[in-house]
A and B are shown apart, each in its own frame.
Chain A
């Protein structure tokens, strides 16, 4: 009794699915899905050679410091970095005094309570503070930015596919909308207030091109601040903010693999030794 019932259930599901497949195939052939503008004009991130690429790559501290400078002078006006503390900058080569100075001179102040009056006030950040947010809340952020909230950048390179290359490609990818696109998709003209960028998933984003000209930032280490260089540096810096323990992870991994390779070799030898007289 059980088996015929189960066979009947199986036949029902199978026929239902085959019917759905047939109907889907007919409509797929009779009305092929229309090509979308995103499908045709969205580009995968560019190839970039970062020092941390590959399984054993390391961060380039000089590059991280340059990237931090780009964040400080360009990005931080709109984008928060809420999971990173000033003290973390010691990991990219600043000493304690420098970190203290960076925190103290930060343009945005840390919200606090006035110890004398108990009223809301602000104070200079200290190394233990997280980077202060440029806007008090999302409403203020949206109001100041044409209704688009600038996302937090702490995890940006892990929150996108191929994040480091994505950030670099997006920052260097601003361009006028191709004539070919407008010819093929006349309705897809970039709306006013948005900017065309083929590396952005829906091709139009609210952020205006942030890195516009060579020399926008003056590097102290003598590197030529081209737009391409600045984009690479900020992408590297944001890779560090998203994965600050990357180097610890890789060196621990190497040690773990060496240990496990030896241990597994010994385990294999023990296994062969114990079984040597037993046909199996």
Chain B
């Protein structure tokens, strides 16, 4: 795939030759994540997060399937079976805490992965399809995480389900029938819990399918890189294996260490205490908040406090919340600067670091805070900037900005960084050359 100098698979063991002739699975793996996939040699640690997101999905699927063996999706017993897992199932506590915190880690690595794409312009031509499929994965993740949070049937599960499905209730005329249809009733109950469990089990496999498309689309142009300049020749790339498998192995170790610290020593740090109270339709929690990874969007939802003529504020908030994600689908065409990497875009860089990043962090903070002043005012300012950044500022920057001179090639940038004149290694060989052994 991708580049003419990509290595082709040649089976060594007779059994692999036999298999390759009948089902070229080894060939597929070799070309996808093996030595047959040439990758730019200058990727930094931000390029670890795609692999880590895949690992996080695997952790979720494996732990989730085991939890599903002990959990019962019935409003009378769901909370109790969750506690049964925590107390009586062998290592049940570890599996459930891994699943709950695994969801958080999945979002952490995916947010960093998206951050990487935004800063280095990975959404630009010719990688638009990679970006669009990634956003589809992100939306599926959000749906899966929301439905999963309902399953323990605690107070936040119940009231979160009520608030989120209530968003559809804001749609004029058809809103309330839609909400009733989604829940299978007028309020969250057994029907809702059962369908959420069913879909929560299904969607991760849909995500896995879209990930295959995401990687397939990536392999056509190959990976972007921190300079954003195209790969020019074999000297610019290294084979994925062993170079990036080794680097990703190290990244995975760091990921698992941080994951273990949370899982084993602060497993409820990212959760909400109210979800250890069984769902009670008669008692509304003082502050209904979603999980932390939804906070920026929740803040945008609550930032709209004024009706616009006949459009109620609640509907505006709902539309804006969905728009805040959907606008990312248009990003490749909103930002038409020919330069990909933010490192060579002085104006973009300023707005990115001093505008977008603080604004998203403020939105995240306000989304978790109660709907009081000054949090509402702060989230109004930050939401205003969020929409302005993507829909007004980015197209304008592309028009006004004078980018810094780009390196002629990846290799040139790497050599300049090391202050080296030529690209020979300790054996006096140039990269891409095969040592004569």
A154 to B86, CA, bound (A): 12
A164 to B383, CA, bound (A): 38
Which of chain B's residues 284-318 have a Cβ closer than 8 Å to chain A? 286, 303-306, 308, 316
Contact B384 A249 (CB under 8 A): no
A21 to B374, CA, bound (A): 10
A245 to B88, CA, bound (A): 10
- By a CB distance below 8 angstroms, the chain A residues around B417 are 279
Contact A257 B83 (CB under 8 A): no
Which of chain B's residues 2-36 have a Cβ closer than 8 Å to chain A? none
Contact A23 B415 (CB under 8 A): no
Q: Given A24-B377, A158-B273, A257-B257: A279 and B265 within 8 A (CB)?
A: no
Q: Is B208 interfacial (CB-CB < 8 Å)? A: no
Contact check: which of B250, B414, B427 meets A280 at CB < 8 Å?
A: B414
Q: Is B41 interfacial (CB-CB < 8 Å)? A: yes
Q: Is the interface of A mostly helix, strand, loop or mixed?
A: helix
Contact A3 B395 (CB under 8 A): yes
- The list of the 8 closest CB pairs from A to B, nearest first, reads A10-B391, A253-B264, A264-B253, A277-B425, A17-B384, A21-B380, A159-B276, A13-B387
Chain B interface: which of A64-72, A111-119, A265-273? A265-273
Contact B414 A279 (CB under 8 A): yes
Contact A17 B387 (CB under 8 A): yes
Supplied contacts A17-B383, A155-B83, 19 more A-B pairs, CB within 8 Å = A3-B395, A10-B387, A13-B384, A13-B387, A16-B306, A24-B305, A201-B286, A242-B276, A245-B93, A253-B260, A256-B264, A264-B254, A267-B250, A267-B252, A271-B247, A271-B249, A274-B243, A276-B426, A280-B42
- By a CB distance below 8 angstroms, the chain A residues around B242 are 274
- By a CB distance below 8 angstroms, the chain A residues around B380 are 17-18, 20-21, 24
Q: Given A17-B387, A245-B86, A253-B260: A271 and B246 within 8 A (CB)?
A: yes
- By a CB distance below 8 angstroms, the chain B residues around A158 are 268, 273, 276
Q: Is A58 interfacial (CB-CB < 8 Å)? A: no
Contact B388 A14 (CB under 8 A): yes
Contact B384 A14 (CB under 8 A): yes
Contact A268 B423 (CB under 8 A): no
Q: Is B87 interfacial (CB-CB < 8 Å)? A: yes
Nearest residue, chain A, Cβ from B83: A83
Q: Would you list 25 pairs from A and B whose C-beta atoms are within 8 A, ordered by A residue?
A: A2-B330, A10-B388, A13-B323, A17-B303, A17-B383, A17-B384, A23-B305, A24-B373, A55-B265, A83-B80, A158-B273, A158-B276, A161-B273, A248-B93, A249-B97, A250-B264, A253-B261, A253-B265, A254-B264, A257-B261, A260-B256, A267-B253, A279-B41, A279-B418, A280-B43
Q: Is B108 interfacial (CB-CB < 8 Å)? A: no
- By a CB distance below 8 angstroms, the chain A residues around B87 are 83, 88, 244-245
- By a CB distance below 8 angstroms, the chain A residues around B415 are 279
Q: Given A28-B373, A154-B83: A278 and B238 within 8 A (CB)?
A: yes
A32 to B389, CA, bound (A): 31
- By a CB distance below 8 angstroms, the chain A residues around B387 are 9-10, 13-14, 17
Closest Cβ–Cβ distance, residue B204 to chain A (whole Å): 24
Nearest residue, chain A, Cβ from B256: A260
A14 to B320, CA, bound (A): 10
Q: Given A17-B384, A253-B263: A264 and B250 within 8 A (CB)?
A: yes
Q: Is A179 interfacial (CB-CB < 8 Å)? A: no
- By a CB distance below 8 angstroms, the chain A residues around B377 are 21, 24-25, 28
Contact A18 B254 (CB under 8 A): no
Residues of B within 8 A of A (CB): 41-43, 80, 83, 86-87, 93-94, 97, 238, 242-243, 246-247, 249-250, 252-254, 256-257, 260-261, 263-265, 267-268, 273-274, 276-278, 286, 303-306, 308, 316, 320, 323, 327, 330, 333-334, 372-374, 376-377, 380-381, 383-385, 387-388, 390-392, 395, 414-415, 417-418, 420, 423, 425-427, 429, 431
- By a CB distance below 8 angstroms, the chain A residues around B374 are 28
A17 to B238, CA, bound (A): 48
Closest Cβ–Cβ distance, residue B48 to chain A (whole Å): 11
Contact check: which of B249, B276, B286 meets A155 at CB < 8 Å?
A: B276
Contact B391 A6 (CB under 8 A): yes
Contact check: which of B260, B372, B376, B414 meets A257 at CB < 8 Å?
A: B260
Which of chain A's residues 202-251 have a Cβ closer than 8 Å to chain B? 242, 244-245, 248-250
A154 to B376, CA, bound (A): 36
Contact B253 A252 (CB under 8 A): no
- By a CB distance below 8 angstroms, the chain B residues around A267 are 246, 249-250, 252-253
A7 to B286, CA, bound (A): 38
- By a CB distance below 8 angstroms, the chain B residues around A6 are 327, 330, 334, 391, 395
A261 to B276, CA, bound (A): 33
- By a CB distance below 8 angstroms, the chain B residues around A16 are 304, 306, 308, 316
A275 to B244, CA, bound (A): 9
Q: Given A23-B306, A24-B373, A33-B373: A18 and B93 within 8 A (CB)?
A: no
A260 to B303, CA, bound (A): 43
Q: Is A143 interfacial (CB-CB < 8 Å)? A: no
Q: Is A123 interfacial (CB-CB < 8 Å)? A: no
- By a CB distance below 8 angstroms, the chain A residues around B372 are 33
Q: Given A28-B377, A244-B87: A250 and B265 within 8 A (CB)?
A: yes
